């Protein structure tokens, strides 16, 4: 009987874990990240991700994002930096990629621009 309960517990735990996508988020850009928002790709249903009680400092600070499985693999990301710039990444595949590095998409600012877009 104990073995059956253990097996059922493992199956239930595995099912719950399969309902969440985890993405390791690294801020490799020079500026601190003050907000990360995610939405199912192609929607404007952005929801903030928990960053804790402090910004995600540039140069390699990291956290793990837990994203609902039911929203699918493709997500739009909106990342706000302390200097006011916003990075939007369209259709990032959380099923294919287990990590996201802001520095790969960071572009030096040009006059008057505060929005970067990655497709």
Residue 56, domain extent: 18-118
Whether residue 11 lies inside any domain: the answer is no
Whether residue 114 lies inside any domain: the answer is yes
Our count of domains for the chain comes to 1
Provide the token pair at 117: 């877009």
pLDDT given at position 54: 85
3-state secondary structure 31-60: CCEEEEEEEECCCCCCEECCCCCCCECCCC
Residue 62, strand partner residues: 26
CATH number of the domain within which 106 lies: 2.60.40
Whether residue 34 lies inside any domain: the answer is yes
pLDDT given at position 51: 84
pLDDT given at position 106: 78
Q: How far is it, in rounded angstroms, from Cα 34 to Cα 56? A: 7
* Dihedral sign from CA coordinates of 86, 87, 88, 93: negative
pLDDT in tens, 21-79: 999 999 999 999 999 999 999 999 999 988 888 899 999 999 999 998 888 999 999 99
pLDDT given at position 52: 80
Residue 67, strand partner residues: 21
Q: Read off the pTM.
A: 0.75
pLDDT given at position 105: 84
Whether residue 49 lies inside any domain: the answer is yes
DSSP letters spanning the chain: -HHHHHHHHHHHHHHHHTTEEEEEEEE-SSSPEEEEEEEETT----EEPP--SS-B-TTTEEEEEEEEGGG-SEEEEEEEETTS-EEEEEEEETTT-SEEEGGGT-----TT--EEEE-
Whether residue 7 lies inside any domain: the answer is no
Whether residue 1 lies inside any domain: the answer is no
pLDDT in tens, 89-113: 999 999 999 999 999 887 766 545 4
pLDDT given at position 110: 57
pLDDT given at position 119: 46
């Amino acid at each position: 009987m104990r073995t059956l309960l253990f097996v059922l517990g493992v199956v239930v735990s595995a099912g719950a874990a399969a309902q969440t996508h985890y993405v390791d988020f690294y801020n490799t850009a020079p500026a601190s990240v003050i907000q990360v928002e995610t939405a199912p790709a192609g929607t404007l249903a952005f929801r903030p991700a928990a960053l804790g009680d402090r910004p995600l400092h540039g140069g390699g600070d990291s956290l793990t994002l837990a994203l609902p499985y039911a929203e699918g693999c493709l997500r739009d990301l909106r990342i706000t930096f302390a200097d006011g710039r916003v990075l939007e990444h369209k259709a990032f595949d959380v099923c294919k990629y287990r990590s996201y590095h802001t520095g790969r998409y960071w572009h030096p600012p040009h006059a008057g621009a505060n929005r970067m877009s990655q497709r």
